[in-house]
Amino acid sequence: MTVLVVGAGPAGLAAAHALARVGEPVTLVDKAQRLGGAPILSGYAKLIPSGEWARDAIGGMVRRVQEAALVRVATTTTVSAFEGEPGRFTARLSDGASVPCAAAILCTGFTHFDSINKPEWGFGTYADVVTTTQVEQMISSGQGVRCPSDGRKPERVAILLCVGSRDRQIGREWCSKVCCTVSANLAMEIREELPQCHVYIYYMDIRTFGLNEDLYYWRSQEEFKVKYIKARIAEVTSDGNRLVVKGEDTLVKRPITIPFDLVVHAVGMDPNVDNRALAEVFGVGLQHHGYLARGSAYAGMALSTRPGVFVAGAATGPETIDDSIAQGEAAAIAALGVVRTSAVQAA
């Protein structure tokens, strides 16, 4: 019997591929028109830590699944009802189709933080305040990094870290894990494209975790001359000519006011806006920030709070692509366990 995989980002693509590879049929549904999740839908450029273009790396995962005879793909589709028990579930899809399935894997990912919720930092007020996803798109489209207001090449760029993460004032108490490394990577990309451009990164702490410390944090400073400022940012305004970032340098405890052409918000990973609806349809729990809850930390990493329904990737909290892929594969093996057990019971 088929396994239902909901969400075709890195986690869902990995789960679908892993199941098809061992001969299990999969129904893969995604609400978007295209497969690939955030790296494809948001047009990411070169990924950390591999340096591969997202369209090649994740595009390859998409093709592998599209070519798998055992994977039935339904795009612009959601699941409207889900009933039954492990080995004998039925999912009703938004196109009216009914899908009998032995297990389900929820790989529904995250929602990018909407910077409009941090109005004092200028997004939505000034055209030249943008997000990391917009800079990723400028690079991946081949357009190059430009000021949206008039298309000029910026001479001074500020990247503000932790926008929509680690911010109790707006109810976001988590670290989004990837944005320090992604920002250091983007800073180097900008310096490579525009060698005359000065790039500053405003930070609370730097979390270029694991092996990314020398490749991104140190390399960006030593080879690419990116400047790091430990600061508390008060506001982003304009002097009529340039954007102005005002705040306090928390190392020397002095106010700082620096002009820039382009200000970039390193946006965090919010819980998917659909999570309440998904929790209701699939009968699974949410953790206290609104991500899908894991059933256990150690007994099986893909467990949700409902037997036979598994979870993987950024649906469960901020995750990197490689960890999302690992979790998708872990969920596939857990779902395979249900398929095999139910087949033995039915025999």
Ligand X SMILES: Cc1cc2nc3c(=O)[nH]c(=O)nc-3n(C[C@H](O)[C@H](O)[C@H](O)COP(=O)(O)OP(=O)(O)OC[C@H]3O[C@@H](n4cnc5c(N)ncnc54)[C@H](O)[C@@H]3O)c2cc1C
Which chain residues interact with ligand SF4 by CB under 6 A?
A: 161-162, 165-166, 175-177, 179-180, 205, 207, 266, 268
The partner in contact with residue 165, picked from ligand SF4, ligand X, none with C-beta cut-offs of 5 to 8 angstroms by kind, is ligand SF4
Phi-psi region of 310 (alpha: psi -120 to 50; beta: other; left: phi over 0): beta
**String of contacts with ligand X for each residue 224-263, x by CB under 6 A:** ----------------------------------------
Residue 274 lies near ligand X (rule: CB under 6 A)? yes
The partner in contact with residue 146, picked from ligand SF4, ligand X, none with C-beta cut-offs of 5 to 8 angstroms by kind, is none
Token readout for 176 is 């989004």
CB nearer ligand X, residue 42 or residue 341: 42
d(CA 22, CA 70): 10
Can you point out the beta strands (E) in 18-131?
26-29, 71-74, 79-85, 88-93, 98-106, 110-112, 129-131
Which of 61, 163, 180, 182: binder of ligand X (CB under 6 A)? 182
Using a 10 angstrom Cβ sphere, with 0-12 exposed, 13-18 middle and 19 or more buried, the burial of residue 272 is: buried
CB nearer ligand SF4, residue 70 or residue 204: 204
Confirm if 194 and 221 have CB atoms less than 8 A apart.
Answer: no
Residue 29 lies near ligand X (rule: CB under 6 A)? yes
Which range binds ligand X by CB under 6 A, 219-227, 303-311, 315-323, 336-344?
315-323
Measured from the CB of residue 48, what is the shortest distance to ligand SF4 in angstroms?
11
Confirm if 154 and 261 have CB atoms less than 8 A apart.
Answer: yes
Return the H-helix or E-strand segment holding 121: none
CB nearer ligand SF4, residue 162 or residue 231: 162
Specify the pairing of strand 243-249 against strand 227-238: antiparallel
Residue 108 lies near ligand X (rule: CB under 6 A)? yes
The site for ligand X, by CB under 6 A, has a size of: 41
Which residues in 53-82 contact ligand X (CB under 6 A)?
78
Confirm if 158 and 164 have CB atoms less than 8 A apart.
Answer: no
Residue 122 lies near ligand X (rule: CB under 6 A)? no
Residue 37 lies near ligand X (rule: CB under 6 A)? yes
**String of contacts with ligand X for each residue 317-336, x by CB under 6 A:** --xxxx-x------------
Measured from the CB of residue 319, what is the shortest distance to ligand SF4 in angstroms?
12
The partner in contact with residue 244, picked from ligand X, ligand SF4, none with C-beta cut-offs of 5 to 8 angstroms by kind, is none
The partner in contact with residue 207, picked from ligand X, ligand SF4, none with C-beta cut-offs of 5 to 8 angstroms by kind, is ligand SF4
Measured from the CB of residue 321, what is the shortest distance to ligand X in angstroms?
3
CB nearer ligand X, residue 54 or residue 258: 54
Count the Cβ atoms, other than its own, within 10 Å of residue 142: 6
Q: Could you tell me the CA-to-CA distances from 263 to 179, 198, 242, 269, 309 in Å, in that order?
A: 15, 12, 10, 19, 42
Closest CA to 78 of 161, 149, 171, 8: 8
Instruction: Say what angle helices 132-140 and 179-193 make with each other, to 10 degrees.
Output: 40
Using a 10 angstrom Cβ sphere, with 0-12 exposed, 13-18 middle and 19 or more buried, the burial of residue 323 is: middle
Binding residues for ligand X, rule: CB under 6 A, are: 6-12, 29-32, 37-39, 44, 47-48, 78, 107-110, 112, 132-133, 136, 178, 182, 267, 269, 272, 274, 278, 313-315, 319-322, 324
